[in-house]
Structure 1
Amino acid sequence: MSFGREPAATDPLVAPRRFTDLTDPAADAALTHTTGFTDRTALAAHLEVLAFRGWPALHTRTLDGWVLRDSAGATRRGNSVWTYGDVADLAAAIADAEEFYARAGRPSTFQLTPVSRPEGLGTALDTAGYDDDSGPTDVCVADLTVLIASIPGLAEHTAGRTRPGTAVRTSRDDAPGRSWLDVGAAGGMSMFGPHRQASVAILSRIALPAVYVTAALDGRPVGVGRGVVDGEWLGIYSMATLPAARGRGAATAVLTALARWSVALGARRAYLQVEERSAAARRLYAALGFLPVYRYTYRRRPATPVRPA
């Protein structure tokens, strides 16, 4: 029984990896074939811009090449500094960011990627006592043609886990309904739990074609996902499945619906983010042909920051 492209133990989305820079020659040819980018740094920078538009913050302040984001506590991305460009004075910029978040009543948090600027930012945050606020997250890409071609094998693999005659059915909406939000929260997306109001406000600000997909088993919603189309790219977000329904094809059905919807709008490639600790999701995405491009992490100021003497 096939499982699409069965991920091997050495697959970069399955095997343990350290937080690396943008040097991985063995994967560059595959990434170029998938995305058309010949330079991994340029691809990472492009994906950062796509993600910035795919999940906008409620409130922002520009600080030279940085964007300070505040979203009432909903997600780390929406409440962290986007360090995409340079700043004139690094120490002063960090201090300004800390003041911004102190006024908002939230800890100062920086999103760090291999294309963060300026050089030395990570070292400066280390010196200031910032902690790693989360495990690393991979940003991955796939060719939508390859993804869609992989889906029949995945459907065959998961069919044996579902009672005969039980099909996973999907529905699409232009806005997140209560059921979609409830499944997202119960499936582990905390942004739709205690921060639901802020998250819904963020979703309403997305200035891109968007769709909200729900997968149901026996008529009961069990899985959700969100897609945005930005040019030829499909951004895949908010993938969640109820714990009792995992491994029964809900996530595959959601991805199928998102991919087919986006292709009709001209998308050719997809990107998503997956945490290192999400082993099951990583296996699924590897089977669908997703390739990791780079990793990011968050650095958070502790309650009592450490300052150099």
Structure 2
Amino acid sequence: MRVRLRVPVAGQGMAEPAASHRGHDALVAPGAGEAVDAALSRELELLAHRAWPPLCERRVGGWVLRESAGSSRRGNSVWARGDVPDLSLALDEVRAFYAAAGLPATVQITPVSLPAGIHQALDALGFDDTGPTDVCAADLADLAGRLAGGTVAEASVDVPSGASAAAAAGSGRAGGTRTLMFDDIDGSWLDIAGRVLSTFADQRAGTLKVLTNLTIATKYVLCVMDGVPVAVGRGVIDGDWLGVYSMATIPAARGRGAARAVLAGLVTWATDAGASRAYLQVEQTSTAARHLYAALGFQPVYRYSYRRYCYRRPHHAGSPAASLR
């Protein structure tokens, strides 16, 4: 039985997501201090944690301190999923943990982060905000239908382990668009990802270590146009969810349907495996991607950001920071 996607709906006990600053962006989700579907938000955070397992983690009360050799903000930040006995002492441990790793102390903040006073505490201690990312979800059947209405690849080809991606790329119809599906990272996939995504360029070593730790079903997709690799994506299946990650298209191929072709390949794979829903994360600055995902029916669930420790502000007695002690 296909499970219908649960999303926050204004007027049904949920606030309309960030109504004052939504504008024409349909994917702006509720952020810290705004009402969300808490159960769905927590579920998606757990899925994302499993889709990017840290190389090292430490528990501090209900928090998970994650470290992954500097690869990705998620892999090197605190997952504030639960309460802590003493907020001030917990933040001291956070700063010490990341200082020992040679990384800036960073806390991922969502509308369901705990404890309730964490936002004010980070403000008082001088944690900056590196910009928001929206988590969005869609029903797979609806997504497949919308993708079928646009330009997609002529075929999706599963490439056996050890087979040549170059040979598979050149075997299609001249002038056509193909998607090649890999169970493991192929060199051509990695080359395209490294041209667009910092996690596969500057942070490649740590990223590859993280991906080798994955224990859930994973598929890597490479889109080839006119025999030339131009776009990539990565999908994971966890329960009935497809997680969409590492979407990247080289600048010269943008606007030609490459991202749609990659998504179509992932959706077909996930549907055949029995999944019924999809989720992804899209940064506020990724304008073209946001337009595409909104057109394909993705709906915002919640917004998160990364708060990074920069300095300790001087404060006087009675200020919010002084009250942390």
- Is TM-score (shorter-chain normalized) higher than 0.5? yes
Corresponding residue for residue 144 of structure 1 = 140
Question: In the alignment, is the contact (CA less than 8 A) between 2:31 and 2:110 conserved in 1?
Answer: no
- 1:182, distance to aligned residue in structure 2 (A): 1.3
**Alpha-carbon distance in 2 for matches of 1:216, 1:305:** 49
Q: Does 1:12 pair with 2:26? A: yes
CA-CA distance at 1:165 after TM superposition: 6.5
1:306 match = 313
Separation in 1, partners of 2:96, 2:35: 35
**Aligned position for 1:222:** 230
Residue matched to 2:40 = 43
Gaps of 5+ in 2: 1-22, 153-172, 317-325
Q: What amino acid is the match of 1:183?
A: I
Aligned partner of residue 66 in structure 2, secondary structure: strand
Matches within 5 A, 1:114-129: 114-129=111-126
> Contact 1:129 / 1:307 at 8 angstroms: preserved in 2?
no
Which residue of the partner structure matches residue 213 of structure 2? 205
Q: CA shift at 1:52, angstroms?
A: 0.7
Q: Is the 8 A contact 2:62 2:80 kept in 1?
A: yes
C-alpha contact (below 8 Å) 2:30/2:302 kept by paired residues: no
What's the TM-score once normalised by structure 1's chain length? 0.85
Query: Does structure 2 conserve the Cα–Cα contact (< 8 Å) formed by 1:168 and 1:249?
Result: no
Question: In the alignment, which of 157, 168, 171 is matched to residue 177 of structure 2?
Answer: 168
Residue 296 of structure 2 is aligned to residue 282 of structure 1: no
**Deviation digits for residues 23-68 of structure 1 (CA, Å, limit 9, x no counterpart):** 37xxxxxxxxxxxxxxx11110111111111111111111111000
Q: Residue 55 of structure 2 aligns with which residue?
A: 58
Identity of aligned residues (%): 51
Q: Secondary structure at the match of 1:261?
A: helix
Which amino acid is the alignment partner of residue 85 of structure 1? G
Aligned counterparts of 1:283 and 1:234: Cα–Cα separation in 2: 20
Alignment partner of 1:184 is 2:193? yes
Supply the AA of the counterpart residue of 2:66. R
**Does residue 23 of structure 1 match 2:31?**
no
Unmatched 5+ stretches in structure 1: 1-8, 25-39, 157-163
Q: Secondary structure of the residue that 1:117 maps to in structure 2?
A: coil
Aligned length in residues: 275
Q: Residue 265 of structure 1 corresponds to which residue in structure 2?
A: 273
Partner of 1:246: 254
1:76 corresponds to which letter in structure 2?
R
In the superposition, the TM-score normalised over structure 2's length comes to: 0.81
Q: CA deviation at 1:166?
A: 2.7
Aligned equivalents of 1:20 and 1:61: distance in 2? 24
Residue 18 of structure 1 deviates from its aligned partner by: 7.7
The two structures, once aligned, show a CA RMSD in angstroms of: 1.9
Residue pair 1:127, 1:307 contacting (<8 A) in 2 also:
no
CA distance in 1, matches of 2:121, 2:315: 10
SS of match in other structure, 1:185: helix
CA distance in 1, matches of 2:227, 2:246: 21
* Corresponding residue for residue 13 of structure 2: none
Q: Distance in 1 between matches of 2:302 and 2:150?
A: 26
Q: Flag the 1:110–1:44 CA change in 2: closer, same or farther, 3 A.
A: same
